[in-house]
Amino acid sequence: MVIYSAQVPEGKVVKNRLHIDVKVGGGRDDVPWEERWPRVLEAKERLVAAGATVVKQYDFDGRGDHIWMEDPEGNEFCLV
């Protein structure tokens, strides 16, 4: 599956109607945290370098769980 976010001339004016969770770590139930979380952090760094912004990192039980991000147009998504 490929998801493409096209640039448009007008700015974002309302909250997203669709929120995407991108399973870059392999999934909470399928991959141990010790393997999954470094994958999430690596994907975050690649996306920040490409122009995305970190909104918030969510931690549960004292360790990272997922990262809420926005693309350059302000569309929201999470890395899980």
Quick one: pLDDT at residue 31?
94
Quick one: pLDDT at residue 73?
84
**14 in a structural domain:** no
26 DSSP 8-state letter = -
Mean pLDDT of the chain: 89
Phi, psi of 76 (to 5 degrees): -90, 145
Average pLDDT over residues 35-57: 97
Structure tokens at 55: 């909104």
Sequence letter at residue 17: R
Sole residue written with tokens 């809420």: 68
Residue 75 has pLDDT above 90, yes or no: no
**9 in a structural domain:** no
**42 in a structural domain:** yes
**68 in a structural domain:** yes
Quick one: pLDDT at residue 74?
87
Domain hosting residue 25, numbered range? 20-79
Q: Higher model confidence: residue 6 or residue 77?
A: 77
Quick one: pLDDT at residue 70?
94
Quick one: pLDDT at residue 79?
96
How many domains does the structure of the chain reveal? 1
Q: Higher model confidence: residue 14 or residue 26?
A: 26
Sequence letter at residue 59: D
